[in-house]
Amino acid sequence: MFLKPFGLKVILVGTIGLALLLIASLWDLYGNVVEQRHRHEVLADGKEAMALVLKSSGLQSVILRWTDFDGQSRTGEARTRKQVSSDRRFVGEQVAIKYLVDPPFEPVILSEIEDRERENHFWINSNLWVASVILVGCALIGFQVLRRGFT
């Protein structure tokens, strides 16, 4: 009775849509958790250096060049806050970083740690809530299907 007005096709398409939304949410959750974990490892075990910001490689990332403790020139991509206003542009600036050579995680701009932590924390929590709501919704629909069927 509950699902009869919708029909099997609508329920199937809705279920596929929810599954895709769940996959996207979990993928973003994974990316934020990995970024946060890598940043913590770099901060704990990394070496400090001054880096030149060569260019913006995206809305929240820049390409850096620095000289490591062995005198080798290195480049890497670092995450930043959104660079939409003039006071948040880094290109051409010298920034303090921490980096790891082995394993080669992204360097961390020290002035950006607080903003990146806040953003990761927000997206981790948001993705967990979205995934939880989707799973509860799917469980309720599944329960109704098993309990009452499609007829």
pLDDT in tens, 91-134: 888 999 999 988 789 999 999 999 999 999 999 999 999 999 98
In angstroms, the CA 52 to CA 97 distance is: 10
pLDDT at 144 over 50: yes
What tens digit of pLDDT does each residue of 26-37 get? 999 999 999 999
Asked whether 90 and 78 are in contact (CB, 8 A), the reply is no
